[in-house]
Amino acid sequence: MPESTHPTTVAGTHPFEAGLERRAANYVPLTPISLLARAAASFGARIAVIDGDRRLTYAQLDARCRRLASALARRGIGRLDTVAILASNIPEMVEAHFGVPMLGAVLNPLNTRLDPATIAFSLRHGGAKVFLVEAIHRELAARALAELPEPPLVVTIGGEGVADAVPYEALLDEGDPAAAWPGPEDEWQSLCLLYTSGTTGDPKGAVYSHRGAYLQALGNAVTFGLSGESVYLWTLPMFHCSGWSYPWACVAAGATQVCLRRVEPAEIFRLIAEHGVTHLCGAPIVLSMIAHAPIHERRAFEQTVRCAVGGAAPSSTIIRTMEELGFRVTHLYGATESYGPATACLAQPDWAELTQTQRYERMARQGVPLATLDAVMVADLETGAPLEKDGTRIGEIRLRGNTIMKGYLGNPSATERTLADGWYATGDLGVWHPDGAVEIKDRAKDIIISGGENISSLEVEEVLLRHPAVMLAAVVARPDETWGETPCAFLEAKPGAALPSTQELTAFCRERMARFKVPKTVVFGPLPKTSTGKIQKFVLRERARELR
């Protein structure tokens, strides 16, 4: 190999590096906080947040966030101190996502549907020094605070709060609306702490960085088509994965955010019609509520509403109904550990040639990586090597990139297990299709093994949801002396629907799937759900074991 002819200015230094160092002019740590500063400076008069009759422009939102940061700083809160918040989808929740990290502190949004002991654990484990509490959650907050030996400073948002709490607006009055914010010392600096809703043991606290949140905001905006004309409705809890990072994504695009405290179909339709909503996100249960809303609760609207759904794949029946109502569904996939969405099911040119049923099946896939995620793969369960993209072999879905969490707070062993070998191990089982899309077949613990045959509970649920009387379906394994396990279906009927018999459902399923996949047991009744609307299969597995 010939010697390099490039000159050197300093021994061992390449000319593309010598004298080309990072400077204040060409390198600024990435942070989503900069997105708000840009929005306020570029279109300050544009409406940023709508909450009932209340309106906040981008200039007002920026000023209130600076007041919050400044006031907290004057009360001794500084870099990497934790500020927790227990609130619904209200403007102050948006403000916290900017004002708290603005001063270098870490925001810890808490699930409003958790029990006091879990809230107390999160406050204690995260080391919260300030606790922002919406007044309607004061009783939950008070019971959690009673379990702490040294409670943090409590700030009440609206109405009567916890005893000795500081009113939120009074706190803001202490701050400076023009306060300068220094930005993170390093873009890897921690920004948010989000606790996972585990089914056993204490929840784990996933830690986000300024860099990751900034990139996720841009990835969401690009993937979901957000712009300055977009109106985003908060049907997704902002405490869940920091609202899938959409508080930052909406500001990045200059969109308007519409607050919604409770997911009620009538209110959703009203806000869509009155405010010209163009985008919303939610769990499958949200789509189901919209799709099955009574006629008298629906409102007509002219625009097409883009609807992103995460969690279990929406059934073809739900997708069809949503399209008929004026929604365009995009299926996303991700986790708390990936700042929310990591992949999206993006339409391909050849879909135009598919039948309606085939297109709905493609739409239910988990899809391809967001532009800001480095890679996704389906790994062999034994070797960890990438599987072929054949759409048949099942492996574990793994993710890698700048929008994967830093790790779990104070839990190095769990961090090592989850982020080993250069990938985030999701625990989800799926296949890899030739077009690069991944498709979940099940959680590893939800695969049913009957007589040596693997049965995907999701596949069985998809068939059951096609029945006109079924609104929700969850299939789990039930112990069986002969087969080891058999599918057990728990079903929630549509309002007013006549319940089909087990024989009728069995016949319905046998026409649409292999006989060994047909549920041997069927139970109708309300399904247990998590605070984010996911069906609690671990509860149903216990019920299935107890059935006689």
Per-residue HEC secondary structure of 457-525 comes to HHHHHHHHCCCCCEEEEEEEEEEECCCEEEEEEEEEECCCCCCCCHHHHHHHHHCCCCHHHCCCEEEEC
Co-location of 201 and 315 in the same domain:
no
Co-location of 190 and 108 in the same domain:
yes
Domain count within the chain: 3
Assess if residue 240 is contained within a domain: no
**Pairing status of strand 424-432 against strand 395-400:** antiparallel
Q: What is the largest CA-CA distance in the chain?
A: 84
Of the three residues 384, 416, 444, the one that is the final residue of a domain is 444
Assess if residue 347 is contained within a domain: yes
Burial 226-248 (b: 16+ CB within 10 A, else e): beeebbbbbbbbbbbbbbbbbbb
Assess if residue 8 is contained within a domain: no
Query: Nearest 5 degrees, angle CA 499-CA 312-CA 492?
Result: 15
Assess if residue 230 is contained within a domain: no
As a whole number of angstroms, the distance between CA 340 and CA 332 comes to 9
- What SS3 state is found at 126? helix
Co-location of 286 and 391 in the same domain:
yes
Instruction: Give the pLDDT confidence score for residue 12 in this predicted structure.
Output: 62
Tell me, what CATH number does 303's domain have?
3.40.50.12780
Q: What is the pLDDT of residues 47-71, one digit of tens each?
A: 999 999 999 999 999 999 999 999 9
Co-location of 435 and 452 in the same domain:
no
Co-location of 420 and 500 in the same domain:
no
Of the three residues 444, 466, 499, the one that is the final residue of a domain is 444
Instruction: Give the pLDDT confidence score for residue 304 in this predicted structure.
Output: 97
Of the three residues 422, 444, 466, the one that is the final residue of a domain is 444
Amino acid, single-letter form, for residue 216: Q
Co-location of 173 and 278 in the same domain:
no
Instruction: Give the pLDDT confidence score for residue 451 in this predicted structure.
Output: 64
**Mean pLDDT of successive 10-residue stretches along the chain, which has 548 residues:** 50 82 93 98 98 98 98 97 98 98 97 88 97 96 95 94 91 97 93 77 90 98 97 95 97 98 95 98 87 94 94 75 93 93 92 88 90 96 93 94 97 94 92 92 74 74 91 90 84 90 91 85 89 78 86
What are φ and ψ of residue 416, in 5° steps? -65, -40
Q: What is the pLDDT of residues 95-121, one digit of tens each?
A: 999 999 999 999 999 999 888 888 999
Co-location of 291 and 437 in the same domain:
yes
Co-location of 427 and 526 in the same domain:
no
Q: Select from 202, 86, 93, 194 the least CA-distant residue to 145.
A: 86
Tell me, what CATH number does 497's domain have?
3.30.300.30
As a whole number of angstroms, the distance between CA 192 and CA 126 comes to 11
Co-location of 343 and 479 in the same domain:
no
Co-location of 295 and 391 in the same domain:
yes
Assess if residue 522 is contained within a domain: yes
- What SS3 state is found at 222? helix
As a whole number of angstroms, the distance between CA 13 and CA 11 comes to 6
Instruction: Give the pLDDT confidence score for residue 3 in this predicted structure.
Output: 45
Assess if residue 276 is contained within a domain: yes
Tokens of 152: 């943090």
pTM: 0.83
Assess if residue 495 is contained within a domain: yes
Co-location of 391 and 522 in the same domain:
no
Instruction: Give the pLDDT confidence score for residue 140 in this predicted structure.
Output: 94
Assess if residue 24 is contained within a domain: no
Q: Select from 421, 78, 32, 50 the least CA-distant residue to 249.
A: 32
User: Residue 437: in which H helix or E strand, if any?
Assistant: none
Co-location of 210 and 319 in the same domain:
no
Range of the domain at 187: 33-215
